[in-house]
Structure 1
């Protein structure tokens, strides 16, 4: 005998593919004109294999998945080509036959579980309904199978979860429910469409690890649709890169990352923020000698909930519990942590949108006790850029009017000058003034975010709060928006409070940062202190969970959290224990 044993990948490629897509073209009919959304797409997928379909928004990734599931909108259809699942052409199947295949043979996990789960039905009723639609089983048997499926995705107390509604679960828990429902019937093919984009980095890691373990035990083939090249590197065997509906490049993930053959693939990989790249920016900006732009001392935000027989609240949400820091002129202060840690609540307290205790001041003015006019004046010094630009813009207002609106509200200048100022702001953020008469839906996601930045700049604020402002953007668009923010900061000497759960992005933009956990800061310091020498276990956990855009890191171990995530909700009178920060040297503070 001679030669090495064949690899698992080689054995899979030698076997008959589970799914064979050949020259698939998906077209849309609009006003009597048919145009392709996906053109001549071809690939094979074998049992137990993970194929990533990567690309920017609008590249055709999700349309491909909907075509395979038979869920295309009424004016979109497969106009040519085949998608053979075990020899059955999916696009040509009548809807009744396709309905029998969905769930039992091919299943899908969508990006936003809250839009996939029915808010008026319990988790249990939805799982039972899905199972009984495909198998002639009793409600009791379906319920037992549902509990087993929840236990399989490591949801604690599954019997109790079956009785709960979707809004009672966290984002990570809801996504696990979706995975449990998708895998309950042991499908041969699982399509995961951006399943972790909206999740924190730690929850994303746990969900993907869970998918990998379940795949290993069931030999389910997975199509992973994502724009996160770090996820592609760590979890996919092969990848297809798409642009504008066409396949640009495909191959083994290791080969694709080592030697990408196309300029578009190289640009996509170059735009991925990597941990460690922040050091290349050099030293953080020197500390300012002037007064801080914003200062928080023992800031607290609480929300009372529940009611006893006398109508008095029984519990309290300790959203922010004793937070202190300042933001200096011209610096970017990062605020990181998982969902529910209090980052966005703190941002809302800074702009006066939620009541607070403790001391918060902006541009030397304390927020407590301000009159209505005083609160309005504070808006000239602090502005926000939100995560979803489409939700932040009025769909019935032209973008030019939206950018000029702050000038109108604060009576900064007359009408003609407002339009001229708005035009200048458009040029400043890389847009053309002739686009001012358009509406938000006529722009891409990245352009809409630029419009939101232009609106935030209108009053020339001292502080801009970026609340997850690049989380939903493709990596290339994300890089453009971050470069724009950096350029504006250098030109206008503004300060940023940059809120994110993406540690790689924060490391590339922040001068100083604080790590929040359950409403309190557990570590704070300069970028180099926190990323170069993380001291708190929670900080290290966040850093370990970041996907590395390098296939060599595939299979690295990750210590999962045990038990339930602690809750900031406590009985009134049972305040959480404060975690004091100690200085371990040169302003590096650790709880």
Structure 2
């Protein structure tokens, strides 16, 4: 067997807090050989990202390697000064960060940033560096690389920006590539393309990859070896088939058990709620558009067709899912339903048409619809105690006396698995899963008929995600509340929804019960979404996936050029399928 490219021995990384050293990573050891993929998996706070920052020499000032070795081709990275580390960073060790928009300079073009990275480590002319940058973009399968060189980060999609980061990292052909949650924020189809891309490039270049993730499906499809971390310590390691087939540590078994799996939803299939005379919400031919651009008279020239002719209803006690990639119109429909964006067509809530309501009636109907957003930290005021945040809707609507509001708030905290004494704390004192529970409690304060969950579990670890989903199901039983569940994670959707609609380019292309969509997907786009879901089974690694050819279509059209409408056909039992192809 060849010598390891990277050998980590007894690595301990500590933070200095008020003069006391506290370990963040303790006694971590592993080996990585050229051409291999090592996954470091675990939940938030397990020490995964701190390990990657230590390898890159990018630890914060109050954090340091206090013992151990990080040997890259025999050179101990832990003993290098910043001046010695700088020439290695990028040329020998490169890193792809989780959020490409924060890693790219928003005021510089893609080309400027790529050529700067190349010229920082190689003595090349601007022209030669540009050629190398274009070749790197072509290598990561970005169409029209010459044109992309002149674009800014905000002009690219999330998947394209992540490809630029991969191109930047691979342009110098590093021996070691560290990918820190490179696909967490991406749609399932884009995630699949990025993972396939990393696997292809690794095979071509022989680059060793450290993949940091909390998604065990991604681990199964990508990694050769796995290190499982918990609270800064390694609790298990081995080859990927070994860890998945016979996990030794209880924590690993819990982590694998919490992973949502396609097909598991059928085991808990519940009878569909009976059709009600008055749905909680009904959308009829609802459209939302935004005008952009300007001609010399200042008039808009183009229109973004964010939602086109959307129709569905949500029954009492039902969980209705909306799925699709970013930009397909899911969140736009949610905002229209909540009265946050203007719309055409008709939206009825509890039998009342939104467009017919006055200001006071609109405020009153807000009691019937509440939202739980994707990022709980952004949804909570950092300067407000969480008890006050949960009670605030009651104050706004003038419900109850102070004593009654406090009593209801305490009850809500208990309902979501928190304690009343935690009401006096601030958002930063809670974990991500606890903050999301607080947002659920706030949404329940007014006892709404419908809660809109907009990607409300996509940023959570799998075990926390499982607890929040179980809480939503429990609250549905206790309160009879209905949910509009918006997600791009098909495995999560299958495990929670009763019916769902698949959206593509602002329109519904398929709709039906959970069993109809997942058991008999008819539209090509639905099939593509399901094929792209990572499967937590290493024996399925390398399964074929048909990548879409050419540029993705755009919802932006010239004013006066209407979007082509998709006609839905009932193929039996209320299973509606669009005739237009994705």
Same fold (TM over 0.5): yes
> Within 5 Å, which residues of 2 pair with 1:287-302?
287-302=274-289
In 2: Cα distance, 1:89 partner to 1:299 partner: 61
Deviation at 1:296, TM superposition (A): 0.2
In 2: Cα distance, 1:45 partner to 1:251 partner: 12
Task: Give the counterpart of 1:424 among 395, 411, 420.
Answer: 411
1:333 is matched with: 320
1:357 is matched with: 344
> Within 5 Å, which residues of 2 pair with 1:103-118?
103-118=90-105
SS at match of 1:481: helix
Task: Give the counterpart of 1:71 among 19, 43, 58.
Answer: 58
2:517 is matched with: 530
Task: Give the counterpart of 2:85 among 98, 115, 135.
Answer: 98
SS at match of 1:509: coil
SS at match of 1:36: strand
In 2: Cα distance, 1:77 partner to 1:350 partner: 50
1:401 is matched with: 388
In 2: Cα distance, 1:532 partner to 1:519 partner: 24
2:252 is matched with: 265
In 2: Cα distance, 1:284 partner to 1:174 partner: 43
Deviation at 1:289, TM superposition (A): 2.7
In 2: Cα distance, 1:245 partner to 1:476 partner: 17
1:8 is matched with: none
2:157 is matched with: 170
1:471 is matched with: 458
Contact 1:62 1:225 in 2 (8 A): yes
SS at match of 2:15: strand
In 2: Cα distance, 1:364 partner to 1:581 partner: 25
In 2: Cα distance, 1:68 partner to 1:401 partner: 42
Deviation at 1:128, TM superposition (A): 1.1
Contact 2:273 2:316 in 1 (8 A): no
In 2: Cα distance, 1:260 partner to 1:227 partner: 16
SS at match of 1:488: helix
In 1: Cα distance, 2:516 partner to 2:271 partner: 11
Q: Does 1:143 align with 2:126?
A: no
2:300 is matched with: 313
Q: What TM-score do the two structures reach when normalised by structure 1? A: 0.97
2:224 is matched with: 237
Q: What TM-score do the two structures reach when normalised by structure 2? A: 0.99
In 1: Cα distance, 2:207 partner to 2:365 partner: 55
Deviation at 1:290, TM superposition (A): 3.6
More moved, 84-93 vs 468-477: 84-93
Deviation at 1:370, TM superposition (A): 2.3
1:520 is matched with: 507
Q: Deviations over 1:288-337 (max 9, x none)?
A: 33410000000000000000000100000000000000000000000000
Q: Deviations over 1:375-405 (max 9, x none)?
A: 2112100000000000000000000000000
Q: Deviations over 1:187-224 (max 9, x none)?
A: 00000000000000000000000000000000000000
In 2: Cα distance, 1:225 partner to 1:284 partner: 39
In 2: Cα distance, 1:395 partner to 1:372 partner: 29
Contact 1:284 1:526 in 2 (8 A): no
In 2: Cα distance, 1:455 partner to 1:403 partner: 4
In 2: Cα distance, 1:445 partner to 1:77 partner: 26
Contact 1:519 1:568 in 2 (8 A): yes
2:9 is matched with: 22
In 1: Cα distance, 2:399 partner to 2:304 partner: 39
Deviation at 1:283, TM superposition (A): 3.7
1:46 is matched with: 33
In 1: Cα distance, 2:21 partner to 2:216 partner: 32
Structure 1 segments, 4+ long, off by >2 Å, are 282-290
Segments of structure 1 that go 5 or more residues without pairing to the other structure are: 1-13
Contact 2:15 2:22 in 1 (8 A): yes
Q: Please provide the CA RMSD for this pair.
A: 0.7
Deviation at 1:75, TM superposition (A): 0.5
In 2: Cα distance, 1:461 partner to 1:353 partner: 17
In 1: Cα distance, 2:249 partner to 2:51 partner: 22
Segments of structure 2 that go 5 or more residues without pairing to the other structure are: none
Q: Does 1:415 align with 2:397?
A: no
SS at match of 2:279: coil
Deviation at 1:101, TM superposition (A): 0.5
Task: Give the counterpart of 1:436 among 408, 411, 423.
Answer: 423
